[in-house]
Structure 1
């Protein structure tokens, strides 16, 4: 076990990497606290950043926090530490999502040290959501297997949607986007989390420069954060005709499963980034219960759908802002 606490500089670096994770509308719904004497980083949900319209459960909030936790583990491994994780350690305190006890890799309990995590560290800063068209270039089978294995390592299932079921999923995404546009409360909630960078310097939300181009083909699966607004100078382009979509699922559908799904999602994304594969999300049908269950493949599908990931080869998406660490990290004796 650690006899001296990691420096504040190291802990700050771990949390900075953690906060590079994706979250619904870039809401960054997390708080971290580090206790020097116990060598423990706690991750708490910031329920003030819950979205009652799109995410009342709040399932996607847990996915975002799970993704941040995976980044924390990757960063710890990069710094020669293991983060021994306890998920939901206090059932009476649902905001306490995880505790990460830091230990040297050589002293970590069996199964706590994962040498493959450190290899993903450089991908943390390179990973960005890309809302631009991808090339009509298939992802090779060996990478598809790599991404599935990455999810499996975090107790989740990730598989690409086959051509037979793809049309159904694309229609569900289109239907959900239409439902969103016709729901004033959801539209208002989305607009609340978009940012006009000509007016301010955002620290959260989706900035206008990250909206991506307009869809001229009717085949884009990413959420259009411009909504029905006309943005001056925004071009319209054709997206890939048959997007390559992966479905992330878990056996259960409770907060513990959501945290596992978030860790699996980020491990898939970092693995993809390291191999030059870009990604974006199609969360719209997951946010409508009557559509979510139809996402499962009627023949091969199992478990509970947690995320649809669009993957392919294209431009690296732009960096999106992050909250200052002083807002999300407290270091105590």
Structure 2
């Protein structure tokens, strides 16, 4: 994506949004001073950058025009070894879409989302038409507060069960975005998943290209992307119930005992297209924010979904109907270290997608 397209937000006073069903200026809607429009849009886009992504690659770009926000895939940030078809990067962009939706909802601003709106623009993941639709539900407003607190926690959890009421809330969160969250609460299902995870982790650890890619996105805190050592978590003992991805190589902290049986959840969709991946990304983020809102922590178990043959085995294990899109480890624990994010100027592009 080359060129010299604009990287600025709309000029002040250009856009008009809708509060509920009534078209109004943002100033009238929020009682803010003139120019607050830029502030609100920037706030929503910064929320978008807080979405999770594989190796914290942050594979999104944003373009803003009058009344619309485009979310684009930055193909230069797709992991060519572990995510060659860009499915996980699309999930990340979908998660960014959900964060933008919720950040606008917190301001009382509705929006309508068009997924993959232009067949000639495969990088255009979604367009949000701001001010279109009904007033956001109160639950979205409350959930937006969790955006700043949510982060991937690669540290050990405590062996405390997740209450039934919270489990049902997580299932509802996925369903609200058109996905399904399967909780592997039966020992046989947990053990079967753990075996697939262990096998996938072993295969990736034998792949020099994978290890080089992992190393390229691990660092000591000098960058605004990737996973710093402080967020990588300790080494995982061989006897741990789940094989967790290890960032930082030999520089990782000493091994610690991990929980014996966390809650494992697999997010699935009826189809396996790019459109399904965008929806899955929104569902994934709604689940993760619900996790955070209930005082829990989560980390990803991506390995079995990154090897096609093992992903197919996982699908069969889950019933052979839906397609697994993401897997999570969920539990109670001390907060981890958030990963850094790039500045907003670094992810803003012109409407054509050019920088």
Q: Is this a same-fold pair by TM over 0.5?
A: yes
Partner of 1:86: 114
Q: 1:331 Cα deviation (Å)?
A: 7.5
2:282 counterpart of 1:263: yes
Which range moves more in the overlay, 157-166 or 318-327? Answer: 157-166
CA RMSD of aligned residues (A): 1.7
Residue 33 (structure 1) aligned to one of 25, 49, 63: 63
Q: 1:236 Cα deviation (Å)?
A: 1.2
Partner of 1:246: 265
Q: 1:297 Cα deviation (Å)?
A: 6.1
Residue 319 (structure 1) aligned to one of 329, 332, 338: 338
SS of structure 2 residue aligned to 1:100: strand
Partner of 1:210: 231
SS of structure 2 residue aligned to 1:86: strand
Counterpart-to-counterpart distance in 2, 1:253 and 1:296: 11
The 3 A distance-change label for structure 1 pair 151 and 299 is: closer
Partner of 1:219: 241
Q: Which whole-Å deviations, capped at 9, do the CAs of 1:206-258 have from their partners, x for residues lacking one?
A: 0111110111233343211134x244xx2211111122100000000010000
SS of structure 2 residue aligned to 1:120: helix
- 1:1-333 equivalences under 5 Å are 1=18, 2-4=23-25, 7-35=37-65, 38-103=66-131, 108-109=132-133, 113-161=136-184, 162-197=186-221, 201-216=222-237, 217-227=239-249, 229-231=250-252, 234-296=253-315, 298=317, 300=319, 302-330=321-349
Counterpart-to-counterpart distance in 1, 2:349 and 2:106: 22
Instruction: Report the count of equivalent residues.
Output: 319
Conservation of the 8 A alpha-carbon contact between 1:214 and 1:235: yes
The 3 A distance-change label for structure 1 pair 34 and 230 is: closer
The 3 A distance-change label for structure 1 pair 302 and 114 is: farther
Counterpart-to-counterpart distance in 2, 1:114 and 1:194: 39
The 3 A distance-change label for structure 1 pair 299 and 84 is: closer
Question: Which portions of structure 1, spanning 4 or more consecutive aligned residues, are displaced by more than 3 angstroms?
Answer: 1-6, 112-115, 296-302
Q: 1:4 Cα deviation (Å)?
A: 3.9
The 3 A distance-change label for structure 1 pair 122 and 3 is: closer
Q: Which whole-Å deviations, capped at 9, do the CAs of 1:261-291 have from their partners, x for residues lacking one?
A: 0000000010110000110000001000010
Q: 1:319 Cα deviation (Å)?
A: 1.4
Conservation of the 8 A alpha-carbon contact between 1:249 and 1:302: no
Conservation of the 8 A alpha-carbon contact between 1:15 and 1:329: no
The 3 A distance-change label for structure 1 pair 304 and 3 is: same
Q: Which whole-Å deviations, capped at 9, do the CAs of 1:33-86 have from their partners, x for residues lacking one?
A: 111xx3101111100001111001110000000011100000000011012111
TM-score, normalisation: structure 2: 0.86
Segments of structure 1 that go 5 or more residues without pairing to the other structure are: none
Counterpart-to-counterpart distance in 2, 1:290 and 1:271: 31
